[in-house]
């Protein structure tokens, strides 16, 4: 039997549970039972709005999603304290607000979900060392993997291969499997994907929302939070709650999945959405889970096999189960050193027009202006347009990290730094990718319509109006021959380069150096 003293002790126990802005998981086990002695806390704070210069849609989107989530938690019968950005009682830091709440509500235990960002994880560890009450850290119950699962999987191995990780995840979670073998006896159908949009093809109209968030926008302006980008806050296009997130997911599955793989790398001016899901903001805030995304896609495939070819489904599953989980694993395996890696020792400043899109290069103009207008660009625009150019221009990786982290609504450190510093810039020296992802104008012309009507000539390496990508491409390989010449995946490029006559190579290098020296005028 429990004695009276024990009963009183249980009654007097009061728990404070912190919910971060990217932990909006309404299916978390925390919410299974209502306990009057549990108080939830959420807060909009300057330490999170100010660590980089965020897109205005990103700040509005996070605040709106957080407020919707807090309202849902309260409606389900839980107690919650929500601190808005301009509330007088908001002390504008997690630590100060937590300490104040502990005293004000006689809290006897503090609990939090493990953050996905190393920076915040360190902050919370420091807080728990200072408070005098017990604390517990629990899993977010969102990912397929644990933080250090990738590290354990590749223990003793010299290299990390996403394909090996992807296959292990397929087996572990029995996804697209037939016994011990992959469905259709093949793991990866990537070769069937990645085509350019046909000339007269009209992509489906993007599915957007019409959220009036002008009130939140005014609060952000009142708080004088510095932001970038554009927004119509009376018609905010992104999902701000779970219901809208599921609606966007279903639209993608019903209307876009059948062409996702085929055109996932395609680019076209004024077509910002194409056949992409655009669910990354909803996923990264945990409004929806990777499991329900994959389950919904597989269900659609099974019930509509004539509409969706398997390569489309497999390509989408690989993005979620493969790359997303892989990048998170790399992040926790290599932080905090990862965000300071600079393999090529690049030191140039990010071009000023990255903040405006005012460049004569059509591909960069379109990708950047789209990013400023929608806080979004798909993975090839990020990797092979903005990222490709930044690498060829020998940009200091931290400046690019801050740009990507700020400008995209879905950008959180754990997924941004691995994709940017690793996949895009090869600044990690090959931890994520096996080769640098660089290209000349030929790739841009192959996968997009950007080259049509451009100020620069895609066919010229040197001379007036020669496309900067062409000379910068060869200059990159020449400048980093000592680090790349023995890479088996780029050896052919050196073979081509060395076959050019000496005078041509000199002209190309001279053209590249001119462009780098006049980068803000391109």
**Averaged pLDDT, 56-69:** 98
Question: Does the pLDDT at position 10 exceed 60?
Answer: no
Characterize the bridge pairing of strands 177-178 and 181-182. antiparallel
Whether 47 contacts 87, CB under 8 Å: no
Strand partners for 55: 228
Question: Does the pLDDT at position 305 exceed 70?
Answer: no
Q: How far apart are CA 64 and CA 57, in angstroms?
A: 10
Q: Check residue 423 and report its DSSP letter.
A: I
Helical residues (DSSP H) of 135-210, grouped into ranges:
149-153, 162-173
3-state secondary structure of 325: helix
Share of the chain above pLDDT 90, in %: 91
> At 195, is the pLDDT very low, low, confident or very high (cuts 50, 70, 90)?
confident
Question: Does the pLDDT at position 26 exceed 80?
Answer: yes
Q: How far is CA 374 from the centre of its chain?
A: 15
Helical residues (DSSP H) of 213-347, grouped into ranges:
214-222, 242-255, 257-260, 280-284, 290-303, 310-317, 325-334
DSSP string, 91-113: -SSHHHHHHHHHHHTT--EEEEE
Q: How far apart are CA 46 and CA 61, in angstroms?
A: 15
Summarised one tens digit per residue, pLDDT across range 196-241 is 898 889 999 999 999 999 999 999 999 999 999 999 999 999 999 9
Question: Does the pLDDT at position 9 exceed 90?
Answer: no
Q: Check residue 426 and report its DSSP letter.
A: -
Helix, strand, coil percent values for the chain (each to nearest 5): 50, 5, 40
Show Cβ contacts of residue 473 under 8 Å, excluding neighbours closer than 6 positions: 392, 438, 439, 440
Residue 72, pLDDT score? 97
Question: Does the pLDDT at position 87 exceed 80?
Answer: yes
278: left (phi over 0), alpha (psi -120 to 50) or beta: left
Strand partners for 112: 18, 137
Residue 251, pLDDT score? 97
- In angstroms, what CA-CA distances link 333 with 154, 251, 398? 10, 35, 19
Residue 304, pLDDT score? 67
Helices (H) and strands (E) in the chain, counts: 24, 7
Enumerate domains of the chain plus CATH numbers.
4-138 (3.40.50.620), 149-328 (1.25.40.80), 352-521 (1.10.579.10)
Whether 442 contacts 473, CB under 8 Å: no
For residue 331, which phi and psi values (nearest 5 degrees)? Answer: -55, -50
Q: Check residue 428 and report its DSSP letter.
A: T
Question: Does the pLDDT at position 3 exceed 70?
Answer: no
Token digits of residue 453:
């009507």
């Amino acid at each position: 039997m429990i004695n009276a003293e024990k009963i009183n002790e249980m009654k007097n126990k009061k728990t404070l549970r912190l919910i971060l802005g990217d932990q909006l998981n309404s299916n978390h086990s925390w919410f299974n039972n209502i306990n009057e002695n549990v108080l939830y806390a959420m807060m909009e704070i300057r330490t999170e709005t100010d660590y980089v210069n965020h897109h205005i849609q990103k700040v509005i989107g996070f605040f709106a999603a957080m407020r919707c989530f807090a309202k849902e938690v309260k409606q389900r019968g839980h107690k919650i304290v929500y601190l808005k950005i301009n509330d007088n009682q908001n002390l504008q830091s997690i630590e100060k607000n937590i300490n104040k709440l502990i005293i004000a509500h006689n809290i006897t235990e503090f609990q939090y979900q493990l953050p996905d960002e190393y920076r915040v994880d360190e902050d919370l560890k420091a807080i728990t060392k200072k408070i005098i009450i017990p604390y517990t850290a629990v899993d977010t119950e969102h990912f397929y993997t644990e933080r250090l699962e990738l590290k354990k999987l590749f223990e003793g191995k010299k290299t990390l291969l996403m394909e090996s990780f992807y296959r292990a995840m397929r087996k572990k979670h029995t996804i697209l499997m037939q016994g011990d073998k992959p469905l259709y006896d093949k793991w990866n159908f990537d070769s069937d994907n990645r085509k350019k949009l046909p000339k007269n093809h009209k992509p489906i109209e993007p599915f957007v929302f019409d959220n009036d968030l002008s009130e939140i926008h005014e609060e952000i302006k009142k708080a004088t939070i510095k932001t970038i980008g554009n927004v119509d806050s009376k018609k905010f296009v992104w999902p701000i709650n779970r219901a809208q997130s599921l609606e966007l997911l279903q639209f993608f599955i019903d209307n876009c999945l059948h062409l996702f793989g085929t055109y996932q790398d395609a680019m076209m001016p004024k077509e910002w959405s194409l056949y992409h899901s655009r669910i990354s903001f909803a996923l990264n805030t945990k409004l929806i889970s990777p499991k329900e995304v994959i389950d919904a896609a597989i269900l659609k495939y099974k019930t509509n096999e004539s509409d969706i070819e398997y390569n489309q489904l497999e390509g989408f599953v690989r993005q979620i189960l493969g790359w997303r989980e892989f990048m998170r694993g790399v992040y926790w395996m290599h932080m905090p050193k990862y965000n300071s890696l600079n393999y090529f020792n690049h030191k140039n400043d990010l071009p000023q027009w990255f903040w405006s899109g005012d460049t004569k290069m059509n591909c960069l103009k379109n990708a950047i202006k789209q990013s400023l207008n929608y806080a979004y660009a798909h993975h090839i625009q990020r990797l092979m347009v903005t990222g490709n150019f930044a690498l060829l221009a020998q940009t200091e990786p931290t400046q690019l990290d801050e740009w990507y982290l700020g400008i995209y609504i879905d950008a959180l450190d754990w997924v941004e730094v691995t994709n940017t510093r690793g996949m895009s810039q090869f600044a990690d020296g090959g931890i994520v990718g096996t080769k640098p992802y660089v290209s000349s104008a030929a790739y841009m012309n192959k996968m997009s319509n950007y080259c049509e009507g451009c100020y620069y000539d895609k066919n010229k390496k040197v001379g007036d109006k020669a496309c900067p990508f062409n000379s910068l491409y060869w200059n990159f390989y020449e400048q980093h021959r000592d680090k790349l010449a023995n890479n088996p995946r780029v050896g052919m490029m050196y073979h081509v380069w060395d076959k050019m006559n000496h005078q041509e190579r000199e002209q190309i290098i001279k053209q590249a150096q001119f462009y780098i020296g006049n980068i803000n005028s391109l």
